[in-house]
Amino acid sequence: MKKITLIALSLPFLSACSPSMPEMPEMPEMPSMSKLIPDISLPTLFKSDINQGSVLDRFNVNQLKIGMSKTEVQNLIGSPSVIDPFHNSQWDYINHSTLYKKDDINYRLTLIFDKNILKNIDASKLSSLPPLTEKEQELENTRIAKEKIISDRTTKAKSQADAKKAVAQAKALKEKQAAQAKAKAKAIVDAKKAVAQAKALKEKQAAQAKAKAKEIADKKAADEAKALTEKRAADEEALKKKQAVEAAATREADLKEGYEMYEKAAGKAKSLKGPNTPWYRFW
């Protein structure tokens, strides 16, 4: 080691004295200091993972669907970490976990319910949620494929049902239109019949009114004729009574006059015959 150091130090002097410096032999490679100095770093203390809040699994979270009930959600991902007693329609799954030699986990899943039905899923803050494993990805792909098949079947069945419904609606509409046309025709016939009945009733009422008027006129004429007849009869009766009274008065006057003439003649005869001569003896 000392010889090598001496040679290294003498090289500048030799180069100054000699115009050409002989080539140096290759030096052996010096060992690195890291190999010469032993590792004296202190050991790192182990820290356990600290999980705080809801522990979610992306595989189960991906199975959340709009329209699930609260019970179905709980059975799938568990109970929420926070439920606002004043807004129990919102469930929050919050996790703040500190992991040993791994990135910390901070995520939040918010679910909104309408009464008992899931209406909205806010998964925008799940970026730190661990990704799917290969097995879970296979299961996820299988589930998606099955759901697609079911969705296609459902869509096809719905399309067929919609087609049948459309046919039934078209048939019902046609029947309704036919019924409406029939009802309209019947209404027209009924209207014409009602007009004819109204006309006939009007004519009947007019005839009845005319007959009634004629009856009233006839009765009035009969009453007038009867009154005239009764008046004539009364006039004749009055005339007869008057004539009878006048005849009686005339007879009475004649009788009175005759009696007076008789009395007068009797008196005269009596005066001529004397007092003892009967009144009926004129001679």
CB–CB of 52/96 below 8 Å?
yes
Burial degree of 111 (CB within 10 A; 0-12, 13-18, 19+): buried
**CATH class of domain segment(s) 58-131:** alpha beta
In eight-state DSSP terms, residue 24 is P
Q: What pLDDT score does 5 carry?
A: 56
| Rounded distance between C-alpha atoms, residue 185 and residue 189, angstroms | 6
Encode burial over 190-226: b for 16+ CB neighbours within 10 A, e otherwise: eeeeeeeeeeeeeeeeeeeeeeeeeeeeeeeeeeeee
CB atoms within 10 A of CB 54: 19
In this predicted structure, what is the pLDDT of residue 274? Answer: 59
**C-alpha to C-alpha distance for 13 and 11, rounded to whole angstroms:** 5
| pLDDT for res 2 | 47
Contacts of 50 (CB under 8 A, 6+ apart): 97, 98, 99
Q: So what's the pLDDT on residue 140?
A: 86
Q: Report the pLDDT value the prediction gives residue 198, as an integer from 0 to 100.
A: 92
| CA nearest neighbour of 60 among 46, 73, 41 | 73
pLDDT in the model for residue 17: 47
Residues 6+ apart with CB under 8 A from 22: none
Supply the pLDDT for residue 117: 94
What pLDDT score was predicted for residue 247? 83
Instruction: List the chain pLDDT tens, one digit each, 283 residues.
Output: 445 555 555 555 445 444 444 555 555 565 555 555 555 555 555 556 666 677 888 889 999 999 999 999 999 998 888 777 777 789 999 888 776 666 667 888 999 999 899 999 998 888 888 888 888 889 889 988 988 999 899 899 988 999 999 999 999 999 999 999 999 999 999 999 999 999 999 999 999 998 889 889 888 888 888 888 888 888 888 888 888 888 888 888 888 878 778 777 777 776 766 556 665 555 5
Chain-centroid distance, C-alpha 44: 72
Residue 141, Cα to own-chain centre: how many angstroms? Answer: 44
Question: For residue 257, what are the CA distances in angstroms to 52, 84, 157, 243, 249?
Answer: 164, 146, 140, 20, 12
Tokens of 173: 């509409």
Strand order in the sheet with 117-125: 82-84, 87-97, 105-114, 117-125
Distance CA 155, CA 148 (A): 10
Amino acid 47: pLDDT:
58
Query: Is this model's pTM higher than 0.75 or not?
Result: no
Q: Which of 83, 129, 80, 70 is nearest to 103 (CA)?
A: 129
127 with 107: CB under 8 angstroms? yes
CA dist list (Å): 17 to 7, 9, 140: 15, 14, 82
